[in-house]
Amino acid sequence: MKKRIKRIFLPKWQRYVIVPLFVGIWAFTGYMEFFSSEAAGELGIVGFVFMSFIFLGVAVMMWFMTSGKLPAYTMEEEVEDDDSITR
């Protein structure tokens, strides 16, 4: 028995849904932080920059997962040898 490792990637349509969603959430958070009088200053500059780096990292990771460069997960399958089938 051999083990075969499969790399599983996300479908490409998620690239066009998740990444714009993250951009929209980031833009709304920036608007609420800097231009809204109700929630101004609650997050702070450091918190907004930290949140921006996390959103940017997740968006880049999602882009790589949907483009086939970074697997979303891997699977190990046990495969029978071809010699045992022909005997």
Phi/psi class of residue 70: alpha, beta or left (left: φ > 0; alpha: ψ in -120 to 50)? beta
Instruction: Give the CA count within 13 Å in the CB-facing half-sphere of 33.
Output: 16
Taking alpha carbons only, the member of 19, 12, 47 closest to residue 33 is: 47
| Single-letter amino acid code for the residue at 62 | M
Put simply, whether the predicted model's pTM sits higher than 0.75 gets the answer no
Mean pLDDT, the chain, rounded, equals: 86
Q: Is the pLDDT of residue 2 over 90?
A: no
- Structure confidence at residue 87 (pLDDT): 52
